Structure 1
Amino acid sequence: MGLVGTILTFPLAPVRGVGWVVDKVRQAAEDKYYDPAPVQEELVNLETARTEGRIDEADFARREEELLHRLQEISAYRLQQGG
């Protein structure tokens, strides 16, 4: 884009800046949401709670299934994103 194009599109610069910020915030939120580490940590905590008798087998099985489903969702997202 030449000088004339830059001058003509200059009033749109704040809009492009806001769009860039929104994209960065969205990306950070997705990175946090699709991070498997907290889910894996919760699985470990769940196993510890079962071993220590703080939860019964039915609650353990239900919660474990939810967490494993979440890990599958994260894995599918990462494959879709190419990483």
Structure 2
Amino acid sequence: MGLIGLIFGWPLAPVKAVIRLGELIQEQAEQELHDPAVVRRRLEEIERSRADGLISEEEEAQEMRQVLQAMTGGPE
């Protein structure tokens, strides 16, 4: 059965590899999304933009809310 499975499974190997690659990318993205250091850097960037006058107070609040919701998995 191993040889038959290998013969019939071989054409599907590239598809399985692409699926696994997609899963790995998704896992990495989720890890970065929930990484406290990444979130902190993003929040600091938002604060700097506000201090430099690049964004308004409302935009700052909205962006911070989006970052925190993404981190906690809350509704957007």
Is the shorter-chain TM-score for this pair beyond 0.5, marking a shared fold?
yes
Shift of 1:30: 4.4
Distance in 1 (CA, whole Å) between partners of 2:47 and 2:40 is 11
1:18-76 alpha-carbon deviations (Å, 9 max, x no partner): 222222233334444x24133222244146x2xxxx43xx92x2122112211331232
Cα distance in 1 for residues equivalent to 2:46 and 2:14:
44
Unmatched segments (≥5 aa) in structure 2: none
Hey, what does 1:41 align to over in structure 2?
A: 44
Would you say how many aligned residue pairs link Structure 1 and Structure 2?
A: 68
Q: TM-score, normalised by structure 2?
A: 0.57
- The counterpart of 1:70, out of the listed 43, 47, 66, is 66
2:17 maps to a residue whose letter is G
SS of 1:69's equivalent in the other structure is helix
Letter in 2 for 1:76: T
CA distance in 1, matches of 2:64, 2:47: 12
The alignment yields a C-alpha RMSD, in angstroms, of 2.9
Instruction: Point out where structure 1 has 5 or more consecutive residues left out of the alignment.
Output: none
Q: TM-score, normalised by structure 1?
A: 0.54
Cα distance, 1:16 vs structure 2: 0.7
Match for 1:65: what amino acid?
Answer: A
How far apart are the structure 2 equivalents of 1:39 and 1:25? 21
Identity score, percent = 21
What code does the residue aligned with 1:8 have? F
